[in-house]
Amino acid sequence: MQISMFIAPAYYMILGALVLPLLPKQIRAGSFMLFPLIALITIWSFPEGYLIKADFLNYQLIIGEFSRLNRIFGTIFSIIAIIGGVYSYHLKEKGQQSAALLYAGGALGVTFAGDYFTLFIFWELMAVASTYLVWARRTNESINAGMRYLIVHLFGGSLLLAGIILNISNTGSIIITSLTPDGSLSSWLILLGVALNTAIPPLHAWLADAYPKATVTGAVFLSAFTTKSAVLILIKIFAGWEVLIFFGVMMALYGVVYAVLANDIREILAYHIISQVGYMVAGVGIGTEMAINGTTAHAFSHILYKALLFMGAGVVLHTTGRSKLTELGGIAKKQPITLWLYMIGAFSISGFPLFNGFISKSMVVSAAGEAHFDTAMLLLLLASVGTFLHTGLKLPYFTWWSKSKEEIEPTKPPVNMHIGMLLAAILCTLFGVYPTLLYDYLPFTVNYEPYTIYHLTESVQILTFTFIAFWLLRKKLEGEPTVALDTDWFYRKPAQFVQRVFVDGVEAAFNFIETVSMDFSQKLIRVSRNPLMLFNKSEEERDYDPDLHRATTHLLLMLIILSFAVFYIFSLII
């Protein structure tokens, strides 16, 4: 295997994951941020169109493809890894630190992959590394959720691999190229594998199941990488597949509807990931230059404000030990910094003017109207109402402002958590005020102005009427101490039956065979030691030994069953 002298950005992250455990505890947290910084510098060190290649067997791998699209995703992945490092600076557990860097490295590997082999390796690396961030919380809930998360993602990876193998078989090439909706099985298998990571319903329940159960700092990284790297692959391979418009709009509405049922603050935010990614999926389906620009810009913005929201929720969990709306409230005066930094993220995701969600989400909606997908445009606007209602109003109101059932005394959070939130909040505001800082680096030339009178008026009307509706109905929107199963019902509900049949049943069968074998062996050993014992017994005892008879019968039955099985297999072969 021959590799170019230049190292792809992902490998700096992976190197960091391997080096961190060897460093002294005192410098480990600070060193964490060094590796994504080096990766960020590397991303901007190569000219557009540059390829980092490697020869492997009879194929040429492209482990680094530097395009405008890849660069903007790689940039925000590196930035959020740095911010996440600041937020988790107080953390001393090297397992979480290494897993976070490995996870970020996997996302960068997927981002710059130019061939399917490289893509799949880093795709699976993300799945394994991110699972640890769920397990690291070390509760029964997190362990079970992490196992479900891992199994679902390995299943998705299997679908992706099957599609890749069929595609290589059909084309003879491993290079990632755009696919057409021609009905080929390979294309649909790849789409299903990518759709699972994008959390397209009904392949989405893993997200709302696992993210709320991850560690405080781990959830920040989880919110950034998996779904957005999958959106990037959708752009590269499936741009213009109109079926994605339907699924994108459904996601946008589905997420806000299920947020109504959620009681855990991080579960509400998780469902809004599904909703916001729906805008991106719809943009990919529209497929125009404006839609792809909007999808890219919205992915960039979403990573910033969603990480900020999860950081705010993480501070609440870290300082109170609570994350349920029904258990919180009355802490606004005790956590003013956390509250107002969170609200910047809430304003951003809700599409307030002067915040980054306003300059990105509106581009996707406008692209739908420009391409004459009017129904999709109206439904996406409707979904934005639900986003502000739950993330911007319901969650902060019942977490900080509403009257709590008992007095809550939050502890003081580590100062680095607020610094991490502040960095994300500054960027959310900066790109909202100066959108050209983002627009100038999008995949295509941008001919879009977000700050028009029409768009400003439309946004203010939506936000104002949503606030009025919330205030009038706030009592009915209060959280309830319930657990709502999503499509994960289909693999949670049958779990006991599957365990009885495929785990307990198999174990019982092996135990039975083991018992019979040991029983028969002991009889043979006893007889072999003193064969004359068979002749020293009475006539009745010689004719019938219950233990020996039972063991012999079981052995004969097993031999008969084995003979039939061998005969059947040979008959199939012949």
Q: Are 281 and 226 found together in one domain?
A: no
Q: Are 291 and 172 found together in one domain?
A: no
571 pLDDT exceeds 70? no
Domain that holds residue 390: 240-486
Q: What is the pLDDT confidence band of residue 36, given thresholds at 50, 70 and 90?
A: very high
Q: Are 219 and 287 found together in one domain?
A: no
Which of 191-195, 203-207, 450-454, 483-487 reaches the highest mean pLDDT? 191-195
Q: Are 413 and 533 found together in one domain?
A: no
* 5-17 as b/e: b if 16+ CB within 10 A: eebbbbbbbbbbb
- CA distance linking residue 117 with residue 513, whole number of Å: 44
Q: What is the pLDDT of residue 544?
A: 47
- CA distance linking residue 197 with residue 178, whole number of Å: 19
Q: Are 181 and 327 found together in one domain?
A: no
Question: What are the Cα distances from residue 540, in Å, to 40, 536, 543?
Answer: 88, 11, 5
Q: Are 244 and 233 found together in one domain?
A: no
570 pLDDT exceeds 80? no
- CA distance linking residue 461 with residue 251, whole number of Å: 24
- CA distance linking residue 36 with residue 235, whole number of Å: 24
Q: Are 62 and 137 found together in one domain?
A: yes
Residue 394 three-state SS: helix
70 pLDDT exceeds 70? yes
- CA distance linking residue 321 with residue 318, whole number of Å: 6
Radius of gyration of the chain (CA): 29
Burial status of residue 111 (CB atoms within 10 A of its CB: 0-12, 13-18, 19 or more): buried
Q: What is the pLDDT of residue 102?
A: 96
Q: Which of 192, 220, 238 is the last residue of a domain?
A: 238
Q: Which of 238, 267, 285 is the last residue of a domain?
A: 238
Q: What is the pLDDT of residues 558-567, one digit of tens each?
A: 666 666 666 5
Q: Do 13 and 101 meet the contact criterion of CB atoms below 8 Å apart?
A: yes
For 548, how many CA atoms within 13 A lie in the half-sphere containing its CB?
11
Q: Are 65 and 211 found together in one domain?
A: yes
User: How much is the average pLDDT of 374-401?
Assistant: 92
Q: Are 163 and 15 found together in one domain?
A: yes
Q: Are 429 and 411 found together in one domain?
A: yes
Q: What is the pLDDT of residues 141-183, one digit of tens each?
A: 999 999 999 999 999 999 999 999 999 999 989 999 999 888 7
Quote the number of domains for the chain: 3
User: How much is the average pLDDT of 95-103?
Assistant: 95
User: How much is the average pLDDT of 259-281?
Assistant: 93
Q: Are 450 and 554 found together in one domain?
A: no
Q: What is the pLDDT confidence band of residue 542, given thresholds at 50, 70 and 90?
A: very low
If DSSP states are collapsed to H, E and C, what string results for 476-509? CCCCCCCCCCCCCHHHHCCHHHHHHHHHHHHHHH
Q: What is the pLDDT of residue 5?
A: 39
574 pLDDT exceeds 80? no
Q: What is the DSSP string of 101-161?
A: HHHHHHHHHHHH--BHHHHHHHHHHHHHHHHHHHHTT-SHHHHHHHHHHHHHHHHHHHHHH
Q: What is the pLDDT of residue 338?
A: 96
Q: Are 228 and 264 found together in one domain?
A: no
Q: What is the pLDDT confidence band of residue 275, given thresholds at 50, 70 and 90?
A: very high
Helices (H) and strands (E) in the chain, counts: 27, 3
Q: What is the pLDDT of residue 541?
A: 47
- CA distance linking residue 60 with residue 57, whole number of Å: 8
Question: What are the Cα distances from residue 308, in Å, to 211, 304, 414?
Answer: 15, 6, 16
Q: Which of 206, 222, 238 is the last residue of a domain?
A: 238
Q: What is the pLDDT confidence band of residue 267, given thresholds at 50, 70 and 90?
A: very high
Residue 239 three-state SS: coil
